[in-house]
Amino acid sequence: MAISESDVLKALAGVRLGERTLPESGRLSPVVVDPSGRVVVSIAVDPSEALASEPARAAAEAAIKALPGVSAALVSLTAERAGGAPSPRPPAGPGGRARMPRAQTIEGVKHVLAVASGKGGVGKSTTAVNLALALQAQGLRVGLLDADIYGPSAPKLLGLGGQRPRVISGRILEPLDGYGLQVMSIGFLVEEETAMIWRGPMVMSAITQMLREVAWNDLDALVVDMPPGTGDAQLTMAQAVPLAGAVIVSTPQDLALIDARRGVAMFKKVEVPILGIVENMASFACPRCGTVSHIFGHGGARQEAERLGVPFLGEVPLDMTIRETSDSGRPVVATASEEPHAAAYRAIAAGVWTRITGGTASRPSPRIVIE
Ligand code: ADP
């Protein structure tokens, strides 16, 4: 039986967006049904409502999927108004603050630093978590914001899966505690299986909300695990977040280094200091014979850093302990601090912190001579 637009609208009448049902809300785009039974529709929302609208989007998708004759349903949130007209400039928020603020300081946070990579799968999140824990081990108060909106991993890496942050007042959320870190992730707010189908402005807005509508408590450093890649979304984000600096994670393969170069170029473009490059999965020690092999070659990231004129922060080996502790929510720096890998992260953290506090990102520290 062929599905019609009116069948879809009837199904959506059971889904509410704020006070109204979806068809009454005036936010729905025309419904497209293709001959194979695939249904595509979008919901226009103000970017500041991205997080709050996600449950309605997911419910709409489920309601359409449940209709007989539907092979697939794709419901996306969009910042454009139904009908395709561009949305008006978002109005100012409370206190006259623009909804999409330019980089301004974040309440409760002294320094924000980004951990970025030119592509996915290079160990960016593992590095971000262990770097945050290693900064904490120096006696600092540290937070972790998982801004990797399409693949949030902080809940898993810190063993916080299934937990929900408490609303303190209004829209302000309390960060969760992961091994002493103050942690926020989109993964705490949206079901893991829910693929988020958000367009650029939504993503930006959700990240802005996670930065500014969280009660960060007196942090020396907030480590932001950025979305991988160097596209427009990442560039906009690098601009919107008041970054003290960026750490680029790369593996030694040539391809990853090319991506790392793009990462460096992106932050330079928006005038964010590069704190340095971390080479992840640099070497492999055979667990049986102990022989160290450089599977992807060696020294490439160090040379690349030199060539680009940015600091080389250190290398982390490819090691089973790192993978197992990471993926089971027991990060190596917190749970196996005596391991040499934990020491490697601590050395990287020391380099990062010196560069942030010395204000000498990508330049050597000045020598202080006491007479
Ligand atoms: P990204 O954030 O770049 O996508 P992840 O941090 O999620 O990467 O890491 C991808 C996978 O590689 C995970 O399974 C992680 O446990 C593993 N991994 C990351 N770094 C290392 C390492 N140094 N040694 C072994 N496994 C690692």
Would you say the CB of residue 120 lies under 6 angstroms from ligand 1?
Answer: yes
The answer on pLDDT for 195 being more than 70 is no
Report the mean per-residue pLDDT for the chain: 83
Residues 6+ apart with CB under 8 A from 111: 220, 221, 222, 244, 356, 357
3-state secondary structure of 259: helix
Residues 6+ apart with CB under 8 A from 326: 126, 129, 157, 332
CA of 323 to the centre of ligand 1 (A): 6
Q: What was the pLDDT predicted at 196?
A: 62
Contact 64, 73 (CB under 8 A): yes
d(CA 225, CA 145): 6
The answer on pLDDT for 363 being more than 50 is no
Amino acid at 34: D
> In this predicted model, which residue has the larger pLDDT, 291 or 201?
291
3-state secondary structure of 98: strand
Most confident stretch, 55-59, 132-136, 301-305, 315-319: 132-136
Would you say the CB of residue 281 lies under 6 angstroms from ligand 1?
Answer: yes
d(CA 306, CA 356): 19
Would you say the CB of residue 342 lies under 6 angstroms from ligand 1?
Answer: no
Q: What was the pLDDT predicted at 258?
A: 87
Would you say the CB of residue 280 lies under 6 angstroms from ligand 1?
Answer: yes
**Nearest atom, ligand 1, residue 341 CA:** 23
pLDDT grade for 103, boundaries at 50, 70 and 90: low
Would you say the CB of residue 126 lies under 6 angstroms from ligand 1?
Answer: yes
Contact 147, 225 (CB under 8 A): yes
Q: What was the pLDDT predicted at 82?
A: 43
pLDDT grade for 22, boundaries at 50, 70 and 90: very high
Q: What was the pLDDT predicted at 304?
A: 87
Would you say the CB of residue 322 lies under 6 angstroms from ligand 1?
Answer: yes
Average pLDDT over residues 357-366: 51
The answer on pLDDT for 369 being more than 70 is no
* Residue among 226, 323, 327 whose CB has most ligand 1 atoms within 8 A, to mutate: 323
**Nearest atom, ligand 1, residue 326 CA:** 16
120-124, 296-300, 350-354: range with lowest mean pLDDT: 296-300
Sign of CA dihedral 226, 176, 193, 133: positive
The dihedrals phi and psi of 281, each to the nearest 5 degrees, come to 60, 40
81-95, 148-162, 187-201: range with lowest mean pLDDT: 81-95
Question: H helices within 189-319, ranges in order?
Answer: 200-212, 232-240, 254-269, 300-308
Would you say the CB of residue 125 lies under 6 angstroms from ligand 1?
Answer: yes
Residues 159-189: tens digit of each pLDDT: 998 898 988 887 789 999 999 999 999 888 7
Residues 6+ apart with CB under 8 A from 99: 46, 47, 48, 90, 91, 92, 93, 205
Amino acid at 3: I
User: Which residue's CA lies nearest to atom 27 of ligand 1?
Assistant: 323
Would you say the CB of residue 119 lies under 6 angstroms from ligand 1?
Answer: no
Residues 23-32: tens digit of each pLDDT: 999 889 888 8
Would you say the CB of residue 42 lies under 6 angstroms from ligand 1?
Answer: no
Q: Tokens for 182, please give them.
A: 């103050």
Q: Tokens for 158, please give them.
A: 């810190």
Contact 316, 286 (CB under 8 A): no
pLDDT grade for 199, boundaries at 50, 70 and 90: low
Question: H helices within the chain, ranges in order?
Answer: 5-12, 22-25, 50-65, 124-137, 154-157, 200-212, 232-240, 254-269, 300-308, 320-327, 332-335, 340-358
> In this predicted model, which residue has the larger pLDDT, 182 or 202?
182
Contact 285, 291 (CB under 8 A): yes
Would you say the CB of residue 121 lies under 6 angstroms from ligand 1?
Answer: yes
DSSP letter for 102, please.
P
User: Which residue's CA lies nearest to atom 17 of ligand 1?
Assistant: 323
Would you say the CB of residue 185 lies under 6 angstroms from ligand 1?
Answer: no
CA of 211 to the centre of ligand 1 (A): 24
Centre a 10 Å sphere on the Cβ of residue 6 and count the other Cβ atoms it contains.
10
Q: What was the pLDDT predicted at 198?
A: 65
